[in-house]
């Protein structure tokens, strides 16, 4: 087994069912990239924005569904009363939250029956009327089914994890009936996403307006105990050792238990010097590194990996439109290996941990338009596999336009899980409002992040016409380099504070295996306008305008250091970055071959220069 290379497999593989969970294989090739995409997937186009127009043009013809409605009330759904309880409006931030009253009717059977009836009829529209509805299980879409929430429809998904370990297709015994899913870009069997589809075509999830709400109840405690968000990390006294970042005794003390053929050097590389690799969030990528098949990556009951709110895997022709998402347990939208996916007029309002708004992964042809983000983590974070789970190939041909980012860690982010590569991404006419700048500011607006573990390539990323009226975070957030690194601690503010960030050494201490150097090139950003805000320390727009941290060779523990290359072919033009708090050092550059600044204004001074470091 090698750990530094992984071939991309775009073949279709079946989901094996005959021998239980141990024989499960991930359906690897929901994407089969046609020759028509090749022009975008190779050299830099002569006019990239014409390529962006071509992406938008794919979605001019709407999806078509049979003209028949299937109301969930016809299958026994009953609305419920809603009360308010003490819970959390953000991670560890107490407040009053809404939840169905005790004894509320479970509408999961009715919703499932309506979808089944719709599918049997050849498709149509499943209607969720106005009212509050408790759903104690996942909404699972099927081909040619359009699930539509009427104005005033509020679906409360159960806040009991047990309800998402009941209905999966794979019986994993004491861990529950689990669902094939992907958690932070690694494949596994886990709690079902709250809205799910696998290898379905021509599907839609829509609302009439933003009173059409999908509510994950991520901050609502279960019976006065934990809530979903507590699984990220515990509040003091709230079963602190029960979380995704604590060593889980359900995970074996040695990786050899599940991968007996590893060599001693491979074991040492995967496990590192501590038991941290046995945390659930580290154990799953360790299984990928060890080559453990998906059917043996069993989580669910007894583990603490929160499910995504909406996750579609291997689906073609997907529409997401016109609804609101609240309190997601984890990432809000996570399409994996999907093709021709359109997301319009969706409002995302979830301030919990890891509340990324939209994380397309290994997808081809994606349009995000007229959406609003108010999220506890990255607004948009484009992914493409992690460790050895790169069988779906790259994410490519993504257009983001006319969107508003109110709050979040990063606005438009690429990475950090990008082992399969990201290319041909376009963002234009985007407003990063940073409305919570005084209390919870946007960390960075345009962000690319990877490291020696995630690796991958990032190329052909184009951004133009961006406004940031309230700047980004004006204080530094320094990253922690590995011990002995040539980069001193507390010297590089890569985690927050820059308007544009390219970070090729993201969280290096998080990964034991660091054998895949990233390659970043062909990034072109223009017409970014950044405003200032009045802080106690002065009037500033950011901490530093630009942060370019190329691969740090010291971190590499693979066998071929010649693969470590600097950041190349970066252009930043016609931008005004306002007044950085660190105006004495308006940018940072390390291992950069060519970053050209043209008509770039920082603190009133115009720069026309090329950065090399």
Residues of the chain with pLDDT under 50: 1-42
Phi, psi of 568 (to 5 degrees): -135, 160
pTM: 0.93
Q: What is the rounded distance in angstroms from the CA atom of residue 392 to the CA atom of residue 380?
A: 20
As to burial, measured by CB atoms within 10 angstroms (0-12 exposed, 13-18 middle, 19+ buried), residue 8 is middle
Nearest Cα to Cα of residue 382 among 399, 402, 370: 399
Q: Which residues on adjacent β-strands are paired with residue 319?
A: 204, 342
Q: What is the rounded distance in angstroms from the CA atom of residue 4 to the CA atom of residue 189?
A: 25
As to burial, measured by CB atoms within 10 angstroms (0-12 exposed, 13-18 middle, 19+ buried), residue 66 is middle
SS (H, E, C) 125-176: EEEECCEEEEECCCEECCCCEEEEECCCEEEEECCCHHHHCCCCCEECHHHC
Q: Mind giving me the DSSP string for 308-320?
A: PSEEEES-EEEEE
The residues, any chain, with a CB within 8 Å of residue 228's CB and separated by 6 or more, are 159, 161, 216, 217, 218, 219, 306, 329, 330, 352
pLDDT (tens digit, 9 = 90+) per residue, 235-252?
665 566 689 999 999 999
DSSP state of 257: G
The reported pLDDT for the residue numbered 237 is 59
Nearest Cα to Cα of residue 298 among 308, 283, 310: 283
- Helical (H) or strand (E) element with 300: none
Instruction: Mention the CATH class of domain 363-612.
Output: mainly beta
pLDDT (tens digit, 9 = 90+) per residue, 531-569?
999 999 999 999 999 999 999 999 999 999 999 999 999
- Helical (H) or strand (E) element with 206: strand 201-207
Asked if residues 431 and 404 have their Cβ atoms less than 8 Å apart, the reply is: yes
Nearest Cα to Cα of residue 592 among 552, 562, 542: 552
SS (H, E, C) 501-567: EEECCCCHHHCCCCCCCCEEEEEEEEEEEECCEEECCEEECECEEEEEECCCHHHCCCCCHHHCCCE
The reported pLDDT for the residue numbered 239 is 61
């Amino acid at each position: 087994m090698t750990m530094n290379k992984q071939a991309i497999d775009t073949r279709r593989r079946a989901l094996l069912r005959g021998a239980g969970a141990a024989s499960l294989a991930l359906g690897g090739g929901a994407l089969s990239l046609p020759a028509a995409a090749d022009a975008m997937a190779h050299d830099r186009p002569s006019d990239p924005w014409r390529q962006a127009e071509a992406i938008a043009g794919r979605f001019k013809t709407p999806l078509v569904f049979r003209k028949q409605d299937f109301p969930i009330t016809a299958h026994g759904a009953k609305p419920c009363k809603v009360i308010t309880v003490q819970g959390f409006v953000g991670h560890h931030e107490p407040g009053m939250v809404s939840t169905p009253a005790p004894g509320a009717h479970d509408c999961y059977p009715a919703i499932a029956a309506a979808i089944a009836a719709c599918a049997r009829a050849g498709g149509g529209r499943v209607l969720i009327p106005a009212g509050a509805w408790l759903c104690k299980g996942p909404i699972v879409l099927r081909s040619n089914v359009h699930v539509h929430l009427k104005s005033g429809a509020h679906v409360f998904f159960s806040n009991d994890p047990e309800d998402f370990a009941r209905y999966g297709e794979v019986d994993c015994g004491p861990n529950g009936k689990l669902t094939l899913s992907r958690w932070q870009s690694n494949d596994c069997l886990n709690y079902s996403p709250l809205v799910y589809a696998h290898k379905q075509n021509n599907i839609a999830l829509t609302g009439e307006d933003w009173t059409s709400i999908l509510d994950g109840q991520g901050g609502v405690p279960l019976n006065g105990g934990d809530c979903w968000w507590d699984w990220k990390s515990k509040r003091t006294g709230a079963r602190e050792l029960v979380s995704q970042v604590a060593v889980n005794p359900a995970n074996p003390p040695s990786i050899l238990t599940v991968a007996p053929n590893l060599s001693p050097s491979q074991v040492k590389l995967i496990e590192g010097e501590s038991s941290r690799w046995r945390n659930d969030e580290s154990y799953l990528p360790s299984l990928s590194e060890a080559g453990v098949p998906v059917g043996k990556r069993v989580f669910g009951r007894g583990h603490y990996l929160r499910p995504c709110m909406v996750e579609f895997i291997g689906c073609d022709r997907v529409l997401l439109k016109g609804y609101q998402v609240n309190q997601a347990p984890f990432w809000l939208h996570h399409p994996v290996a999907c093709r021709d996916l359109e997301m319009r007029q969706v409002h995302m309002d979830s301030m919990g941990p890891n509340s990324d708004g939209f994380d397309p992964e290994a997808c081809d042809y994606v349009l995000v338009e007229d959406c609003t983000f108010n999220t506890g983590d990255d607004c948009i974070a484009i992914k493409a596999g992690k460790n050895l789970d790169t069988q779906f190939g790259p994410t490519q041909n993504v257009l983001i336009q006319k969107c508003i980012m109110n709050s979040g860690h990063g606005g438009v982010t690429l990475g950090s899980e990008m082992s399969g590569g990201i290319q041909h991404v376009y963002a234009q006419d985007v407003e990063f409002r940073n409305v919570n700048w005084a209390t919870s500011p946007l960390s960075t607006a345009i962000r690319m992040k990877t490291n020696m573990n995630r690796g991958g390539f990032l190329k052909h990323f184009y951004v133009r016409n961006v406004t940031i009226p309230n700047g980004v975070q004006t204080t530094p957030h320094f990253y922690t380099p590995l011990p002995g690194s040539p980069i001193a601690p507390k010297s590089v503010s890569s985690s927050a504070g820059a308007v544009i960030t390219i970070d090729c050494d993201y969280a290096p201490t998080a990964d034991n295996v660091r054998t895949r150097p990233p390659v970043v090139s062909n990034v072109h950003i223009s017409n970014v306008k950044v405003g200032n805000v009045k802080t106690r320390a002065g009037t500033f727009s950011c901490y530093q305008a630009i942060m370019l941290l190329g691969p740090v060779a010291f971190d590499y523990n693979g066998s071929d250091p010649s693969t470590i290359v600097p950041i190349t072919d970066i252009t930043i033009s016609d931008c005004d970055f306002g007044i950085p708090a660190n105006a004495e050092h308006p940018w940072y550059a390390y291992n950069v071959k060519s970053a050209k600044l043209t008509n770039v204004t920082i603190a009133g001074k115009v720069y026309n220069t090329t950065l090399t470091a």
